[in-house]
Amino acid sequence: MDDSINSIAYAGLVFITYLFLMVTIFFVLSGPVDTIMTAFSDGAVGTSYATQMNSYHAGFVLAIKIAFALGIAAPITWFIMWIFSREPAVYQYKRRF
């Protein structure tokens, strides 16, 4: 974990900014990526390759959507792990003088 972020407000701001950017990138790129993948699927290939192209096309589209989902889930995981890693150690205590 990166220990340079000491404030939960700053970490929340970084989290919200990154999440906003990833969602924006998803909505901007999802249309062109779907168009490119459809063009690959509808491309002029021989009849022997058309069956393979159709069977692998769904897997490629799913892999791209999973990559986008992991890009959005990464900061959520980091933020939750950062919050729960702030617990004090057992050996840290204050003296009562």
Q: What is the pLDDT along the chain (97 residues), one digit of tens a residue?
A: 445 666 778 888 888 898 898 889 888 988 888 888 878 777 676 666 777 777 777 888 888 888 888 888 888 888 888 777 766 666 656 666 5
Orientation angle between helical segments 47-84 and 8-41, nearest 10 degrees = 180
Residue 81: predicted pLDDT: 83
Distances (CA, A) of 55 to 43, 46, 51, 79: 14, 15, 6, 38
pTM for this predicted structure: 0.60
Per-residue DSSP letter, 88:
P
Residues sharing a CB contact under 8 Å with residue 53, sequence separation 6 or more, in sequence order: 40, 41, 43, 45
